[in-house]
Structures are given as C-alpha cells and as structure tokens.
Amino acid sequence: MADDDTRHESPSQTAGPYVHIGCLPNWSGIAGVYAEDPGSRLINADTRGERVSVTGRIFDGDEAPVLDAVIELWQADAGGLYPSPVETRGVADPNFGGWGRVASAFDSGEFRIDTIRPGRVPYPDGRLQAPHINCWIVARGINVGLQTRIYFADESDANAEDPVLASIEPRARVDTLLAQPDAEGAFRFDIHLQGERETVFFDI
Amino acid sequence: MSSEQSRGYLPRDRAWHPPALAPDYKSSRLRSPRQPLLVLPTTLSEESGPVFGHDIIGPRDDDLIHNYAADGHSALGPRILVHGHLRDQSGRAVPNALIEVWQANAAGRYRHPNETYIAPLDPNFGGCGRCLTDADGYYRFLSIQPAPYPWPNGPNSWRPAHIHFSLFGEAFAQRLITQMYFEGDPLIPLCPIVNAIPREDAVDTLIARLDMDAALPMDMLAWRFDLTLRGRAQTYFENRPEGL
Ligand SMILES: [Fe+3]
C-alpha cells in the first residue's frame, strides 16, 4: 500500500454529548441492542488480586463537574501482566480483561471504577513502573481523547521509582495522578481539565 | 526488554489533529488542558490493548436499520451501507478491530436523555451499532442516513450529517474517536467542530465518498470511508540505544 493517505492518522473529533449511545447504550437507556455495555465489568468473583474502587469527578475550567464524560481504563492484572497478544512475559489472569469503561453520572458527575490493584509492569528500559491504570477521557468539548494515569498514593516506594512520574515537572503536579485512599480499598481520584490543579495529561 | 521487542508507536501529529482549545467550538474553552501534554515514549501499558472477539458481536449489531426495530419493522430514512478499510500509518491492515458507531436518526434527533431537539424520535431506531474488521481490515455496517441538526454553540449552528466512530486497534495508544461526514454536504465547511481541524486535507479524510459500485440496486446507497490508526515506530525504536 503506497497510498499517501496512510501516512496520517485519521484526525480525531470530539465524542460529543451523546457518546453514551455508542459506547454505553444500556446505561443511556437504549435497551435490547447489546446484552451488556462493553467494559461494564472489569472483574468477576474469580479475578485474582486486591479489590479496589476508585471514585471521582472530572472538573472543567470553572470547577464545574463534567456530567457527560466517558472514561476508558486499561490496566495490568494483579501480577503485572496484560491480557494482550503483545504480552510476552506470561499469561494474564483469564478472569481479568484489563479494559473497562465508566461514565460520569448525568446528575453528579461521579464515576466509579471497581477493579483490582494492578501489578507492576516494565518501562521500555526494564525498570519497573508503579501500579497504574491508564485512562482515556472523551467528552463534548474534548477534541482529542485525553490520556492520563491513575497511580495509588499508598504505593510511595513504587511511585518514587516510576519513570513516568519521574518525568513530571514541576514536581507538585505528580499529586494530580495519585488516587488518595479514602476508606478500606476505596480511593478518590478527581480529574481537573484546566486550572491550578490541572491533571497531567500525556502524549504517549 | 530488548529494543527488537519494542512495539513503540509513532507520536501523534498534533498539527494534523484539532488542538485542545478551538475557541469557535465553545465547549472546548473550559474543557481544554492549558499545560502542554507530557510527551513520553509508549510503554507496554500503551502498546498493549484489549482484544475483542466475535462472541461480543450480536447478529444485528451491524444493522442499525433493524437492531432496535420491532419485529417486522425497520428504521425510517434513506437506507445506507457504510464500508471501508482500517489500516495503520504504515498501511498495514488492522484486522479484528472493534468499530462502534452512533448517530442521530433521519430527522436529526438522538435517542439520549440529554437530547432536546424538537425533531421526532423514530420508535424503530436506537442509533448504535458495532462491527469487527475482517482479516483484511475491512468493515461494513448498515444504517439510515442521519440528518443534520442544530446545536447550542453559536446563534445558528448546525452539525453536518455525520456518524460518530469509535475505533480500537491493537494498542491502547491507537484508541481513537472521530466522525464521518458525507461527500457534498454544504454544512461541512460551516461546522466549528470540523473547522477545529487545522488542515483542509485532514478534514477531507473524514468525508465519506458515495460508492455506486457498492450500492445495492433498489435497496441502498453505499458510502466508502477508510480510516487510519497510529502506526508503529519500528525503525526508530530498533535503532535507538538501549534505555533511551
Ligand atoms: Fe453528533
């Protein structure tokens, strides 16, 4: 294929306010087309690992909660293995799909992720990354899906060694990627699209 | 990990994509990060991604004309077939990729709790569908032609007719949402969301072409829409020093 068009990625466009129709139809009230919404269950009773929940909201530049976002999640299993064909270090937990999709509630903007604490996976040079969940955020007003990561504030040793966190300047912004322990197994992670507490977003 | 094993991906060409802040698209003003994105090479976390099998695809998932319709009924509007090829930036076909689509009905109305447009709902149209690309990267679904609709951006803003596309490749780094427009629609150059894309040749790649060769006579017109996902930076990664 020498087609010139193949040199460019298709340009991104906003997911718009009605992204739920295509991505979470049952959640948006469209019943009977898909048996269940894609990504609505990350774990089952047999998934190995420590159960954790992460709840939070996304805030805009006026500190108003975003009520129409969808967040996609991708993470390793408890042993640090991805359920993916490119995973060459072992076989991931068959009861863990690694991928999830949650929406901000239409009324409060709150999202909730029920998953397991991921294991550590290597950086390209072999150093270990700290446990993290990759996030991809789409919504009305977001022209290109935003990539960020959820790290866990109670993993201070691993976080101190993490090459991605190490590349963040100024250092105070590292905190924007740390989910804070709330109750047993429960974490809080708010995302700020703009402003003084703007979350670190990646071009990765 | 040796450099030969790296599946690093090309960085996104941010001059080809719309910028985060496109002031004429009002919603982007408060939802655009103002700090520069932190540029990093992809890691295994981005180079891997979920795999979807045929088991999640129901028999009518790729038929929006019927997948929400009552038995014996079908959605109102011009019947269309949309098809195309999914490849990456080096031209390699992307097989078994999940494509999710959503759209307004033939009157320009979405089936959604926050929708307020006065145009009528079609009781036989849900507006969502999905399919997987085949072994050679080709996809196809059936739908009805969506109508343009007004939206609260400027005093008289209308979206061109469009279908929203969500695409998975082999890696989370390739995740993409975009929109397909229809060749000849006079609303395309007036749309602030379209015009957020800085280059006209980039916009052109989002405009599906009428494809009479694929049309089904006495049944439906066809539109051809090819898509390109981020490609791998194999050469770069194979040549770079270990640990860069
Ligand atoms: Fe739309």
pLDDT of B181-220, one tens digit each?
999 999 999 999 999 999 999 999 999 999 999 999 999 9
Distance A19 CA to ligand 1 centre (A): 8
Q: Which range (A77-81, B3-7, B165-169) has the least confidence?
A: B3-7
Model pLDDT for residues A121-178, shown as the tens digit of each residue: 999 999 999 999 999 999 999 999 999 999 999 999 999 999 999 999 999 999 999 9
Angle CA(A26)–CA(A74)–CA(A68) in degrees, nearest 5?
Answer: 45
Query: How many C-alpha atoms does A56 have within 13 Å on its Cβ side?
Result: 23
| Beta carbons within 8 Å of B28's beta carbon, 6+ residues apart | A14, A141, A142, A143, B20, B21, B22, B196
pLDDT value at B243 more than 70: no
For residue B233, name the pLDDT band (cuts at 50, 70, 90). confident
pLDDT value at A190 more than 70: yes
Single-letter amino acid code for the residue at A32: G
Helix (H) or strand (E) holding B192: helix B192-195
Q: Find the mean pLDDT for residues B80-103.
A: 97
How many Cβ atoms sit within 10 Å of the Cβ of residue B216?
A: 12
Nearest residue on chain A to B176, judged by CA atoms?
A12
Q: Is B164 a catalytic residue?
A: yes
Query: Which chain A residues are closer than 8 Å to B176 by Cβ?
Result: 9-10, 12, 145
pLDDT (0 to 100) of residue B30: 98
Which residues share a beta bridge with B80?
B143, B221
Residue from the list B30, B112, B178 with its beta carbon closest to the beta carbon of A11: B178
Taking the CA of residue B102 and the nearest CA in chain A, the distance in Å comes to 5
Rounded Cα distance between A136 and A113, Å, is 13
pLDDT (0 to 100) of residue A7: 86
Single-letter amino acid code for the residue at A195: G
pLDDT (0 to 100) of residue B6: 55
**pLDDT top residue among B55 and B83:** B83
Residue from the list A28, A85, A142 with its beta carbon closest to the beta carbon of B51: A85
Q: Find the mean pLDDT for residues B23-43.
A: 97
Model pLDDT for residues A8-54, shown as the tens digit of each residue: 999 999 999 999 999 999 999 999 999 999 999 999 999 999 999 99
Distance B98 CA to ligand 1 centre (A): 20
Q: Find the mean pLDDT for residues B7-17.
A: 93
Is the ipTM higher than 0.90? The answer is: yes
Distance B163 CA to ligand 1 centre (A): 7
A–B CB contacts, 8 A cutoff, strictly below: 284
* Residue A8 burial (C-beta neighbours within 10 Å; 0-12, 13-18, 19+): middle
pLDDT (0 to 100) of residue B227: 98
Query: What architecture (CATH level 2) is domain B2-237?
Result: Sandwich (2.60)
| Beta carbons within 8 Å of B86's beta carbon, 6+ residues apart | B93, B94, B97, B99, B133, B137, B138, B139, B167, B226, B227, B228, B229
Q: Is B17 a catalytic residue?
A: no
Rounded Cα distance between A64 and A66, Å, is 6
User: Which has the closest alpha carbon to A70: A149, A145, A120, A124?
Assistant: A145
With the CA atoms of A42, A45, A48 and A49 taken in that order, what torsion angle do they form, in degrees rounded to the nearest 10?
A: 70
- Give one DSSP letter per residue of B40-107, joined into a string: ----HHHH------GGG--TTTTBTTTTTSPTT---SS-EEEEEEEEEETTS-B-TT-EEEEE---TT
Query: Which chain A residues are closer than 8 Å to B35 by Cβ?
Result: 173, 198, 200-201
Query: Which chain A residues are closer than 8 Å to B37 by Cβ?
Result: 201-203
End-to-end Cα separation, chain B, in angstroms = 12
User: Out of B110, B130, B139, B181, which one is annotated catalytic?
Assistant: B110
Rounded Cα distance between B26 and B144, Å, is 29
pLDDT (0 to 100) of residue A157: 98
| Strand-strand pairing, A58-59 and A191-192 | parallel
pLDDT value at B21 more than 80: yes
Q: Which domains does chain A have, with CATH numbers?
A: 19-192 (2.60.130.10)
Backbone angles phi, psi at A148, to 5 degrees: -145, -175
pLDDT (0 to 100) of residue A4: 52
pLDDT (0 to 100) of residue B241: 45
Model pLDDT for residues A98-122, shown as the tens digit of each residue: 999 999 999 999 999 999 999 999 9
Which residues share a beta bridge with B150?
B158
Rounded Cα distance between B109 and B147, Å, is 8
Does the pTM of the predicted model rise above 0.90? yes
pLDDT (0 to 100) of residue A90: 97
Q: Do B177 and A15 touch (CB under 8 A)?
A: yes
Q: Do B128 and A6 touch (CB under 8 A)?
A: no
| A8, A9, A196, best to mutate vs chain B, most B CBs in 10 Å | A9
Q: Do A15 and B164 touch (CB under 8 A)?
A: yes
Q: Is B110 a catalytic residue?
A: yes
